Structure 1
Amino acid sequence: MTTFILDVLKDLQNRNKDLSSLIFVLPSKRAGTFLKHQISQIVDQTILAPKIISIETFVEDLSQLKKTSNTELLFVFYNVYLELTDKDNQEPFDSFSKWAQILLQDFNEIDRYLIPQEKIFNYLSAIQDLKHWSTEENKTDFVKRYLLFWNKINLYYTQFVEQLLELKTGYQGLIYREAVENLESYIQNNSKTQHVFLGFNALNSAEGIIIQELLQNDLAEVFWDIDQNFFNNLNHDAGLFTRQHHKNWKYYKNNAFNWKSNHYKKEKNIEVFGIPKNIGQAKFIGTLLKEIKEKKNNLEQTAVVLADENLLTPTLNALPKSIDALNITMGLPLQYIPLSSLFDQLFNLHKKASNTFYYKDVIAIISHQFIRPLFNDNNVDVASKITSTILSNNIVYLTVERLKALSGASENIIDTLFVMKQNNVKNLLENCSQLILTIKTELDKNKASNKLSLEYLYRFNELFNELTRLNTEYYYIQDIKTLHSVYKELLSNATLDFQGEPLQGLQVMGMLESRVLDFETVIISSVNEGILPSGKTNNSFIPFDLKLEYGLPTYKEKDAVYTYHFYRLIQRAKNVYILYNTEADVLTGGEKSRFITQLELEQIHPIKHKIVTPKVNVFNNALIQIKKTDAILNEIKKIGVKGFSPSSLSNYIRNPIDFYYQKVLGIKEQEDVEESIAFNTLGTVVHNTLEDLYLDFIGQFLTIDALNNLKPKINKTVSHHFKNEYKEGDITKGKNLIIFEIAKRFVLNFIDLEINDLKEGNKIKIIALEEKNDALLTIPEIDFPIKLTGKVDRIDSYNGTTRIIDYKTGKVSQNQVEIANWEDLLTDYKKHSKSFQVLMYAYMMHQEHKTTLPIEAGIISFKNLNAGFLKFAEKEGKNKKVLISEETLLNFEIELKKLILEIYNPEINFVEKEL
C-alpha cells in the first residue's frame, strides 16, 4: 500500500537529498516512529538516522522555553493575581481557578495567533463596559470591581508572561510567540540546515510565519497531504486550510504546491453502521476485527480510530482473542482506573470536616479492592467484621475511636484513612502518600499477579508527589475542597501509557494520533454530531465577532480541522467502516455526523448503510417453577416438624416461590442500616411497649385509674424498646424523632381507647399477652403430625366474651377481616391474609384447650383506632357472624389441610405468582 510518508521519502530520494542531514518536522511524535521505519525500508545502505521531531518540540527549541503543566500555570497566575489585586477583592484559589482556566485558554489563543495583546484586551474591556453598565451614572461597588477586573486583564497578562519568562517556562501560545521572536537568530545560526515539514493542515499564525520564513530562506520544504477532490471544491472544508495557504503564502506565487494527490476517488468499500450505545459500538468493533482477521490472516494495515476516547476500555475488552499484536497510541486516563475512586472517596470524606463519618462512606472505603486486604488480621477479614457490626447495630455515624475499637490490630490503617490533624491539607497529602506505600507493601507480597496494580500505584504516587510539591512551593491550597479541585485537574491530564508493538499488528488510536498515517482498513467509531465534529463549544471570554475581527479560530475552523482528519483517514484506505451511536446519550449520540450525510450526498462511493442491533438472548418470561425433589421434600418435612407459623403460611399463599426461598433455602432479606426507622421496627416497638405496660394486669380487670397510671411510663418504655430494636440509631432528630413521637402517640391512643371502653361500662380482663401456642395437626395423607406455632399479641375477656387480638401498626379496615366464601381464603391473599392469621390463632388456641367456644378474633389497627376492635366475620347473605364456633374452625381446618397438603404434594411445584 502506498502511503503519504513513503511518497515523500521516494520524492526526496529521487532528488538525491541526503536524508541524514534533514530535519523532519511532523504534526505528532507518533508519526515519527512510522517515518523512521519507512526510511529503513527505502534505503539500501547504512545511514545515520535524520532528526525527526514534532512541531511542538521544534517550536520549544526555537523559543528556548519548556512547556509547563496547566496546574503549574494556574499557581503562577494566581501569584500574579494576588500581587495586582487589592486584598479586599482577592478571591480564594478555588473560585479563582474556575475563571482563570478560561482566561489562560484565551491567552494561549491570542499568543498562538500573534494578536497584539493590549489592543484586544482594551477592546474586550470596552465591550464589557458597553454591554453591561456604561449607561448607568452611579455604578455600584460590584459593577466597579467587575469593570476594574476587565481593565486589568492586560496588566495580568503582562506580569504573568514576565514571570514565566523568568522561569524559562511557558504555555503553548507563549512558546510559539517567543519562537517567532527568535526565528531570525535561528535562521542565521542554521543557514545550511534543511527542514522538511510534512502532513500539516491547520496552522496557527506563529506556525505559518515560521514555516514561511524558512521557505523564503530556502531552508525548508513543505509536503501537504490534500486530495485534488477536496482542494478544488471550494465548499469542502477538508481543503479549507490548504486552499488558504496556497492563496495567501507569497512563496507559492513562484513555487510548486506539493502535493495535491488523487486517491480519494479510487474504489473503496465504505460501510456505515448505526449501533445503539457505546458498548454496542465496542462489541461491534470486536466482531469486525474478527471477520477481518479471518479474511486477511493479519491486521498489519488495520487501524481502529476512536473519536470518543472514552471508548478505549470497552473496545479493549471486546477485542477478539485471536489478535496477537496490538499497539495503543492513546493513554488510558488515570481517572478511569479503580484507584482514582478511592482517593475521590477520601477527599469527599474529609471535605465535610466532621468528627464522625457516615457509615456508607466508611463501608465504601474499607471495602475498596485496594483497601480491604490491608485489614486482614491473621486471615480474619476485619473489613467484613466492621461492616457486619455497623449493619447489625444500626450505626449511621462512626467516630475514629469506634472504628479503631472495631478494627483491632488494624489501628494504623484507620489513622491513615480517617485521622486528620490541624493542618489538614498537608496531613491528607501525607496520609495519601503513606497509604500508597502501605498498599505497595501489600501488593509486593504477590508481585507477579499484581504488576498492573503496581503500575497504577506508581502513577498515583507521581501525582501525589506533584501535589505535595505544588502545595509546598505555593501555599495556596488552604482547604480540602481546593486540594480536591487541584487533584482532579492533575488527574484529568494524567494517563497510563501502554507499551505495545508500534509497527506491528492492529493500531488503536485517537483521531489526532492518526495524522500523517495511512491504513488500508480503517474503523472509525462515534461518528456523531457533538463528537466528530465536536460542535459549537465556546469556552472563552472573547466574543465570536471579536474572534472574527482578529482572525482567531471559531467553531467553523475547528469543524474544518475535524473534516480534514476524517477525510484524510479514508483518503487512501480501501475498506472503511464508520460507526455511530443511534441512541441519545446525554448531549451526544443519537444524531449521526454530518460527515456521513456528506459522504452519501457526494455519490463518489457507494455507501452501504446498516442499522445493527445487538444479539439479545430470548429470555423465557415464564413464571419460576421449582420441582420438589427428595431433598426439598425433606427440608419441608423439617419445617413441618419445627412448626408452621401463620406468617409463613400466609407467605406461601401470597407467593409460593418466596416461601421456597425463605423457608426451604433459608435466604434472608439483605441486612442494611436503617437510617430512618423502618415500619417493621416501629411495629415491634409498639408491640413490646404494650406488652411491658400491660404485663402486671394479666388475670385482672382493667380500671380507668390503672390505665391512667400507665401514661407517664410511655416515654421511658418506648425509648427502651427503640434502643433495643434500633440499636445505636439516632432518634433525637429528623424523621426518626417524628417516628418516635408516632410510636408514643399510638400507645397513648390505644390506652385512651381502652379507657373510653371502660367509661362506657364495658368490662375488660387481660387473660394473656404474647401467648405462645403450639398445636399439632394430624392429616391422614401425611405420615407425621404437622406442628403449628405462633404468638398471639393479646387474649382478653370483653364483657365475658374471649377475644384473640392481633395488633397491626398499619391500616386495616373491617372488610379485610371478613369472608364470604371459604375457598377464597387460599386464593385471595390481599383480601383474606388478615382473616387467615386470626383464624389460625383461634384454631391453635382451641386445639390447646386454652379457650372455650364461641370466641371472637380480630385486629386492632393503630392507624384505624377509631374503628375499635375489627372482628373476624363470616358473611351469610346480608348478615355477619362474628362469633367463632366449632363450625367456623372446622371450615378453617378444611382449608388449612388443603394448604398443607399442597405444600407437601411432590407433584405440585413451587410456582411463582404474578404479584
Structure 2
Amino acid sequence: MTTFIFDVLTELKKNNNTISELTFVLPSKRAGLFLKNQLYKVSEQTIFAPTILSIEEFVENISELKTITNTELLFEFYNTYLKLTKDSPDSFEVFSKWAQILLQDFNEIDRYLIPQENIFNYLKAIQEINHWSLQKEQTTFVKNYLAFWNKLYSYYQEFTKALLTQKSGYQGLIYRESTKNIDAYIKANSEKKHIFLGFNALNTCEETIIQKLLENNLAEIFWDIDKTFLNNSKHDAALFTRQHKKNWPYFKTNPFNWITSNYTQPKTIEIVGIPKNIGQAKYIGTILKNLHENDPKLQSTAVVLGDENLLIPTLNSLPQGISALNITMGFPLKSIPLASLFDILFDIHKISSSNFYYKNVINIISNQYIKPLFYVDGIDYASLIIETIDTNNIIYVSPERLKSISPGTTKIIDLLFTNWDKSIDTALENCFGIITAIKEFLDQEKASNLLALEYLYRFNELFNELSRLNSTYKHIKDISTLFGIYKEVLSSETLDFQGEPLQGLQVMGMLESRVLDFETVIISSVNEGILPSGKSNNSFIPFDVKLENKLPTYKEKDAVYTYHFYRLLQRAKNIYILYNTEADVLTGGEKSRFITQLELEKIHNIHHNIIAPEVPVINRTLNEVKKTEHLIKEIVKLAERGFSPSSLTSYIRNPIDFYYQKILKIKEHEDVEETVAANTLGTVVHNTLEDFYKPLINTQLKEEDIKNLKSKINETVTTHFKQVYKEGDITKGKNLIIYEIAKRYVSNFLDLELEEIKRGRKIKIIAIEIENKVSIDIPGLDFPIQITGKVDRIDEYDGTIRIIDYKTGRVDKSDVEVINWEDITTDYKKYSKSFQVLTYAYMMQQSNHLKFPLHAGIISFKNLSEGFIGFCKKDKSGNGANKNYFITPEILDAFKTELQALILEICNKNIPFTEKEV
C-alpha cells in the first residue's frame, strides 16, 4: 500500500523539485513526523531535511505572535473585564464560567475574518429586541444584561489590544494578524516554495493565506479526496473540498491535485455492535490478537478511538507479545490517583472550617501516596487514626485531634489540614510541601517508583504554573477559585507515552489520524453523539447569526468528522468499525449515520455482526466447612463457655455465619454511625430501663415510683446516648429525631406500667438484666454444655411470674407462637423469637426453680399497645382453638428435646457447617 504522503513526495520528485528547499505545511505535527520518515524512500542520496511545519506553527511564524494558554488568556481577559466594568464586577470564579465561551466566540470571529464591530452590534440589537417591553422602566436585571451585550465589542477591542501589545494572542487573533502580514511574508520569502498537503476544512484566514501564496506561485496544494465523494454533491466527506474547487480562482486555470479513486478498491469491512465501552475495548484486544498471529509487528495497523476515554481499557486489553507500540494520545493527569488526592484536598478547604468530615479525612490518609507518610518509627498512624475515629464514633475531626492521635506526623497533618484558608500562597505552599514529602519517601526506592516520581514532577509543574498565574495577576481570591483554575489547567495536561512513533501498532484519536494511511484500521465508538458529535452550541452567537456570517455550525463540524472517517477508509484494506449497542446517557446506543451510509452505498461487501461477551454460567456452590479434630476442640471450648440464645439462633439462620462469628471469632467492621443505628437505639433504651428498675428489685411498683422515673427520662437517656454513641452528634438532623424516639419509647413504656397499676394490677420486680449460665446434660456428648444469656426483666404480675425480653423493633403475637416443635430449630424467620424466650425460660427454671405455671414473652416498643406479648403453644390444627399461654414443665421438656437436638447437630463431627441459601 502506498500512502498519500509518499505519493505527494513522488510527485514532487517527478516534477524536479529540490526536496530540501521546500517548506511543508501539514494539518498536524504528527503528520510531519511521518512525512520525514518517508523522505528516504524518494531520495537517492543524503539530503538536508526540508522545513516541516504544522499549520498552527506556520501561521504563528507569519503573525510574529506567540500563542498563550487558555488559562492565561482567561486571566488576561479578566484584566480587561475589570478595566471596563466598574459597577459590581463578577468574581473571577463566576467570570471564568462565561468568559470561556466568549473567548471561543472571539476565536471563531477572528479565524473567519468576520467584521468585529458589525457582528457585536448585531448581537446587541438582537438582545434589545428580545427584551423589548411596553414598560417604561427596565428592570435592573434586564439593564445589566443588555449592558453586558453593549460592552462585547469594547471587551474585544481592549482585550486584543492588550494581547497585541505583549506580542501574544489566542489562535484566532494570530490567524487574523497573519492575514495582515501575509504580503510582507511573501515579499520576504519570494524564493521559498510551500507545499500544503492533506487539508480539508479551512477557515477564512487559512484560505486567504494559502490562496495568496498560490497566486504568487509560492505554493502547491495537494488535497486527498476520492472521486466517489467529490462527485456526490450530497456526500459530506467532500463538502469543503467541493467548495474550494468551485470557489477558489486559482483552480480556474490550474489543476486540482488530487482526486483519487482508492475508496472503490476491494476492502474487507466488518461492522461490529458490542454492548458497552469495555466490551469494545476487549474486542479490540481480540482483533489484535488474531492480527498479531499473522503479522507480529502490526506494522501498518491503527486503533482509532472515537471516544478517547477508551484509551486505558484498550491498553489493558492489548494481547501479550506486541513489541512495538505508539500511543499518540497522552494519559490525562486528571486520571491518576495523585489528582484525586488534590481534588479532595481542595474540596474540603473550599469552605473554611476547623473540623473535617471523617470520610474525607480517611480518604486522604488512605491515599496510596499519603498513607506511607503516616508510618513513623514502626507505628502505622493512619490505621490508628481510622481506628480511633471508628471506636469513638467521631463524625467531624479537627487537626488538633489528629495530632493528639498521631503525634509523630504533625508536619504532614499541618500540610494536609491547616492554614489553607489563610492565603492562596499558603495553600500553594502546602501543595508544594505535600509533593516534596511524597518525593522524599519515593526517593528511598527510586528505581521502583519512577512512574510515581514522573507524576509528581508533572504536578509540581502544574502548581508552579498556578503560582506564577497567581503572583502575576492576583485574581485568585479564595480556595474555591483556585480549585476552579486547578481543574482548568489539569484538564489540558497529559502525561505523554514513550513509544515507537513510526513502528508497530498505532493507537490514536480521530484528529491524530489526519494525512496518515494504514492497511488495517480499527475504529471504536462509531455512535451518534461521538462520531459525529452531533448538535452542540456552546456559544453566545445564535445559530441563524452563524449562518448569516458563514461561521461553522454543527453541520460543518459533522462534515469535518465525516471527512476524517472516510479518509481513514480510502486506502485501508481491512477495516473494523465498532459501536456500542447499549443505551447510554450520551450516545443512546444508536449506531452512527456513518455506518448506515456505508451500508446504503453498497460499494463494499460489509459484514455486520452483533457480538455479546461470553458469560460463563457459574453454578454457585454453598460453602461447606467440614469439622476437623481442631474444629471440634474449638466447638468444645465454645460449649464450655456457653451457647447464648443469639448464637444458637445465628446457627439456625445460617450455620456458616455461626462458624465465622463464634468459632473463627470474625467480627463485622463497625463503621462510624453518622445516623444512630437500630441496635444503638435498643442499647440506650435497655440501659435506661435497667437504671430505672434496678433500685426497685423486690418491691411492688407504685404510682409514685413510675412518676418519679418519668422525671429522669431526659437526663438518663442523654447519659446513655453519650456512653454508647460516644462523640456522635445527637443535637440535629435524624439523630435528634432518634434521640427523641428513645425518650418517647421509655416514656410510653412507663405510661403503660402506670396504666396497669391504676387498673389495680400488682407488679413486683424480681430481677433486672440478670445473667444466667446453666448446664445441660445431652446424652452422647462427653463434655460439659453451658447455656448462657441475660434476661432483661423478671417480674411477678398478679401472682404469675413473667420472663420479659425487650425489643425496640416491631413484634406481633404470631412471632411468638409455635405449632410444631420440630420447626423451632429450622425456621429462623418465623420462630427465632419463640426460641429466644423459651431459652430464657429454660435457663431461669434450671437456675432459680421458678414456680409453674409462668409466662415468657416480649414487650415491643414499636407495638406497645399489645402490652406483654406472651409465648403461645397452638395445637397442630393451627386454627387457634387450643392455645396455651403458660410455660409448663411439659412445654420446657418439649423445648429441651429440640434444644438438645440442635446442640447435638452443632457438635456432631460428621455434620459440616453448611451455608444456607438466603
One-letter identity of the residue aligned with 2:191: K
In structure 2, what is the Cα distance between the partners aligned to 1:443 and 1:91? Answer: 43
CA deviation digits over 1:231-251, x for unaligned, max 9? Answer: 111111111111111111111
Partner of 2:726: 727
Q: Are the equivalent residues in 1 in contact too, given 2:28–2:514 (CA < 8 A)?
A: yes
One-letter identity of the residue aligned with 1:379: G
Partner of 2:31: 31
In structure 2, what is the Cα distance between the partners aligned to 1:759 and 1:556? Answer: 86
In structure 1, what is the Cα distance between the partners aligned to 2:135 and 2:248? Answer: 48
In structure 1, what is the Cα distance between the partners aligned to 2:300 and 2:634? Answer: 64
Query: How far is the alpha carbon of 1:699 from its aligned partner?
Result: 2.2
Q: CA RMSD in A?
A: 1.4
Say if 2:206 is the partner of 1:207. Answer: yes
Question: After superposition, where does 1:772-791 map in structure 2 within 5 Å?
Answer: 772-791=771-790
Query: How far is the alpha carbon of 1:622 from its aligned partner?
Result: 4.7
Q: Are the equivalent residues in 2 in contact too, given 1:359–1:395 (CA < 8 A)?
A: yes
Question: After superposition, where does 1:497-646 map in structure 2 within 5 Å?
Answer: 497-646=496-645
Question: After superposition, where does 1:357-506 map in structure 2 within 5 Å?
Answer: 357-420=356-419, 423-506=422-505
One-letter identity of the residue aligned with 1:596: I
Question: TM-score, with normalisation over the residues of structure 1?
Answer: 0.98
In structure 2, what is the Cα distance between the partners aligned to 1:673 and 1:620? Answer: 36
In structure 2, what is the Cα distance between the partners aligned to 1:751 and 1:546? Answer: 77
Partner of 2:215: 216
Say if 2:75 is the partner of 1:72. Answer: no
Say if 1:631 and 1:248 are closer, same or farther in 2 by CA, change over 3 A.
farther
In structure 1, what is the Cα distance between the partners aligned to 2:31 and 2:882? Answer: 94
In structure 1, what is the Cα distance between the partners aligned to 2:593 and 2:21? Answer: 44
One-letter identity of the residue aligned with 1:912: E
One-letter identity of the residue aligned with 2:3: T
In structure 1, what is the Cα distance between the partners aligned to 2:499 and 2:156? Answer: 43
Say if 1:725 and 1:734 are closer, same or farther in 2 by CA, change over 3 A.
same
Query: How far is the alpha carbon of 1:75 from its aligned partner?
Result: 1.0
Say if 2:281 is the partner of 1:282. Answer: yes
Q: Are the equivalent residues in 1 in contact too, given 2:199–2:224 (CA < 8 A)?
A: yes
Partner of 2:652: 653
CA deviation digits over 1:667-699, x for unaligned, max 9? Answer: 222210101111100111111111112121222
CA deviation digits over 1:741-772, x for unaligned, max 9? Answer: 22122222222222222222222222211111
Query: How far is the alpha carbon of 1:82 from its aligned partner?
Result: 1.0
CA deviation digits over 1:581-616, x for unaligned, max 9? Answer: 111222125111111111111111111111111122
Partner of 1:692: 691
In structure 1, what is the Cα distance between the partners aligned to 2:147 and 2:661? Answer: 72
Partner of 1:905: 908
Query: How far is the alpha carbon of 1:86 from its aligned partner?
Result: 2.3
CA deviation digits over 1:312-335, x for unaligned, max 9? Answer: 111111111211111111111111
In structure 2, what is the Cα distance between the partners aligned to 1:418 and 1:567? Answer: 54
Query: How far is the alpha carbon of 1:624 from its aligned partner?
Result: 4.0
CA deviation digits over 1:860-903, x for unaligned, max 9? Answer: 11122222211112124513212211100011011112222222
CA deviation digits over 1:414-458, x for unaligned, max 9? Answer: 100000265332221111111111111111111111111111111
Say if 2:76 is the partner of 1:51. Answer: no
Say if 1:134 and 1:55 are closer, same or farther in 2 by CA, change over 3 A.
farther
Report the more deviating stretch, 617-626 or 755-764.
Answer: 617-626
In structure 1, what is the Cα distance between the partners aligned to 2:171 and 2:864? Answer: 77
One-letter identity of the residue aligned with 1:331: G
Question: TM-score, with normalisation over the residues of structure 2?
Answer: 0.98
Partner of 1:157: 156
In structure 2, what is the Cα distance between the partners aligned to 1:367 and 1:578? Answer: 42
Q: Are the equivalent residues in 2 in contact too, given 1:874–1:880 (CA < 8 A)?
A: yes
Q: Are the equivalent residues in 1 in contact too, given 2:818–2:831 (CA < 8 A)?
A: yes
Query: How far is the alpha carbon of 1:45 from its aligned partner?
Result: 1.0
Partner of 1:81: 81
Equivalenced residue count is 914
Q: Are the equivalent residues in 2 in contact too, given 1:231–1:239 (CA < 8 A)?
A: yes
Query: How far is the alpha carbon of 1:502 from its aligned partner?
Result: 0.7
Query: How far is the alpha carbon of 1:487 from its aligned partner?
Result: 0.9
Partner of 1:2: 2
Report the more deviating stretch, 496-505 or 712-721.
Answer: 712-721
Say if 1:631 and 1:566 are closer, same or farther in 2 by CA, change over 3 A.
farther
Structure 1 counterpart of 2:892, from 880, 885, 889: 889
Partner of 2:253: 254
Q: Are the equivalent residues in 2 in contact too, given 1:581–1:589 (CA < 8 A)?
A: no
Query: How far is the alpha carbon of 1:207 from its aligned partner?
Result: 0.3
Partner of 1:19: 19
One-letter identity of the residue aligned with 1:325: A
One-letter identity of the residue aligned with 1:862: F
In structure 2, what is the Cα distance between the partners aligned to 1:546 and 1:83? Answer: 29
In structure 2, what is the Cα distance between the partners aligned to 1:523 and 1:635? Answer: 61
In structure 2, what is the Cα distance between the partners aligned to 1:37 and 1:480? Answer: 48
Report the more deviating stretch, 825-834 or 461-470.
Answer: 825-834
Q: Are the equivalent residues in 2 in contact too, given 1:778–1:784 (CA < 8 A)?
A: no
What SS does the corresponding residue of 1:155 show, helix, strand or coil? helix
In structure 2, what is the Cα distance between the partners aligned to 1:737 and 1:151? Answer: 54
One-letter identity of the residue aligned with 2:19: L
One-letter identity of the residue aligned with 1:902: E
Query: How far is the alpha carbon of 1:733 from its aligned partner?
Result: 1.8
Q: Are the equivalent residues in 1 in contact too, given 2:421–2:427 (CA < 8 A)?
A: no
CA deviation digits over 1:345-404, x for unaligned, max 9? Answer: 011101121111110111111111111111111122111110111011100011111011
Query: How far is the alpha carbon of 1:112 from its aligned partner?
Result: 0.3
What SS does the corresponding residue of 1:913 show, helix, strand or coil? coil
In structure 1, what is the Cα distance between the partners aligned to 2:834 and 2:170? Answer: 79
**Percent identity of paired positions between Structure 1 and Structure 2:** 65
CA deviation digits over 1:161-190, x for unaligned, max 9? Answer: 000001111111000000000000000000
One-letter identity of the residue aligned with 1:18: T
Query: How far is the alpha carbon of 1:634 from its aligned partner?
Result: 3.6
Query: How far is the alpha carbon of 1:832 from its aligned partner?
Result: 1.6
Partner of 1:263: 262
Q: Are the equivalent residues in 2 in contact too, given 1:60–1:179 (CA < 8 A)?
A: yes
In structure 2, what is the Cα distance between the partners aligned to 1:476 and 1:257? Answer: 52
Report the more deviating stretch, 197-206 or 34-43.
Answer: 34-43
In structure 2, what is the Cα distance between the partners aligned to 1:382 and 1:778? Answer: 50
In structure 2, what is the Cα distance between the partners aligned to 1:333 and 1:368? Answer: 19
Report the more deviating stretch, 782-791 or 845-854.
Answer: 845-854
Question: After superposition, where does 1:706-785 map in structure 2 within 5 Å?
Answer: 706-785=705-784
CA deviation digits over 1:556-586, x for unaligned, max 9? Answer: 1111100000010111011001111111222
What SS does the corresponding residue of 2:447 show, helix, strand or coil? helix
Query: How far is the alpha carbon of 1:19 from its aligned partner?
Result: 0.5
One-letter identity of the residue aligned with 1:463: L
Query: How far is the alpha carbon of 1:157 from its aligned partner?
Result: 0.3
Say if 1:234 and 1:135 are closer, same or farther in 2 by CA, change over 3 A.
farther
Report the more deviating stretch, 323-332 or 141-150.
Answer: 141-150
Partner of 1:97: 96
Q: Are the equivalent residues in 1 in contact too, given 2:273–2:580 (CA < 8 A)?
A: yes
Q: Are the equivalent residues in 1 in contact too, given 2:349–2:420 (CA < 8 A)?
A: no
CA deviation digits over 1:253-278, x for unaligned, max 9? Answer: 11111111111111111101111111
What SS does the corresponding residue of 1:87 show, helix, strand or coil? coil
Query: How far is the alpha carbon of 1:839 from its aligned partner?
Result: 0.2
Query: How far is the alpha carbon of 1:914 from its aligned partner?
Result: 3.8
What SS does the corresponding residue of 2:674 show, helix, strand or coil? coil
What SS does the corresponding residue of 1:811 show, helix, strand or coil? coil
Query: How far is the alpha carbon of 1:41 from its aligned partner?
Result: 2.5
In structure 2, what is the Cα distance between the partners aligned to 1:421 and 1:859? Answer: 56
In structure 2, what is the Cα distance between the partners aligned to 1:902 and 1:132? Answer: 84
CA deviation digits over 1:201-252, x for unaligned, max 9? Answer: 1000000010000000010010111111111111111111111111111111
Query: How far is the alpha carbon of 1:712 from its aligned partner?
Result: 2.5
In structure 2, what is the Cα distance between the partners aligned to 1:261 and 1:135? Answer: 62
Query: How far is the alpha carbon of 1:134 from its aligned partner?
Result: 5.4
Say if 2:172 is the partner of 1:169. Answer: no
One-letter identity of the residue aligned with 2:441: E
One-letter identity of the residue aligned with 1:786: I
Report the more deviating stretch, 315-324 or 758-767.
Answer: 758-767
Say if 1:685 and 1:295 are closer, same or farther in 2 by CA, change over 3 A.
same
Q: Are the equivalent residues in 2 in contact too, given 1:690–1:747 (CA < 8 A)?
A: yes
Partner of 2:843: 844
Say if 2:224 is the partner of 1:225. Answer: yes
